[in-house]
Structure 1
């Protein structure tokens, strides 16, 4: 692959995008039913705990490990319906630029017994039986989002478990550009006709009405033991809502999110076709790896292009010659 070097990065402006929710968690060492716990949290905090991502899981696991807290506590997730297709990666599973983007194959997601989703080599999404064994695609939870195609046949739940053991999640495609990038990876690796990705049909909702689709079920769950959710450090379990146990409340604080616009100049040691989607995506991935914790995205110019070749500037030597 051709090498390239980022030689200039200039700030050119910023804009406030809205706010990001940060949650403070408060474990309560009292045994209550789920409904009693919900009432307590709403009276004294905001609500029963909502968990958005892997960072929240890590914070709670550290909190439990460092204390005498019971290793099973109610959180705010309850099976209330209606069903909808979501990305298992969680809050980052919904693209801010394309919140309604979908790429379903005709009629494939309408089967009542299909609860898991895959992708074909044409980039189309296809629903299937979750117990079907297929290859799958993992994606890093870090900002770089490194993608890995695993050519082992596993059920959807087994595939998710495999990804998470390697600090990854089943891959998501939340916008057209992400879908194209994932399709490109499948094409380059010679993947089979269908692979599992992170699409799953779900009817569990958060008590505070959050739209977070993040789930961290134990690999045996949910198994229809009940409509409410227990947090444990080994994964979540469904349980009957009348069961009495400790619980976790949260206070949600909003923090402003700012999008920073930067101008990028790239020097290449070989001729690259900068209008090739694969080239621009490869450059973006390298930038992400060098700047972990920051998410970068190309801005498409009015002419439909991302990158433009820089023209040489004329220099006057004082003699009238350029």
Structure 2
């Protein structure tokens, strides 16, 4: 007589609660103040200065516009990048890591960096070994680096002229990345690798104009010709439709925001032969789902199980012959 096979199939629903969606409500403050005063006021009475992440948000705000120009949350504070290695979103960082300097070492040439012509957000080493910010679309040779298993770093100069982005792609394909420099000795090693002597791209870059609430939104809504005057105009005002850079000590009315997190529940049904009533299996599956959601950009994800009744499937015994 054939035996009975009784595999158990476990069904479970993962309830994924995501609070990474934001609802912004804008508030117009009809009091003239500077951008730093506006930031302080909004943070004290609301959430922060206004952030706009899409044209849809701009258009939704339009019916409430009663001002000619008002401060919003976009700015590019030069104290965080002008001759310093800061730790803020608009500070200098290295291509290889996407992170700011670990040591704080810098070797800027005289009067650099200056964000000239509002395009200079990539860095090259000049003929004297100093650093200069330049427009990333210019053509220069570049220095790649590679690190051995013994943590030994080698630098390779490529004389072929490329834009900073193309140089980055080349270094990542053939070496490790564009050169990272965290000390005087490394700066000397990079400088000595450039033969014959020439200016060359290194891996330093920055992303200008960041939001007061630390939003990573890259949405921009500049009016034609803006931003246009980098020496003193480091803050942004809006007329409700387009944006312009302005001196941060100018007086404008203010757009503040309050931000609410929207919770969204996603139900995912899983079918597995694993026994998800066992804590170790349960935890492992939840970790995998959480990691995947995090990779896709969901923040503050909380997972829980809601178990359905176990369904038992029995293979019937073959009838006697």
Question: Do they fold alike, i.e. is TM over 0.5?
Answer: no
TM score, norm. by length of structure 2:
0.40
TM-score by length of 1: 0.40
Higher Rg: 2
- Structure number with greater CO (CA < 8 Å, separation at least 6) is 2
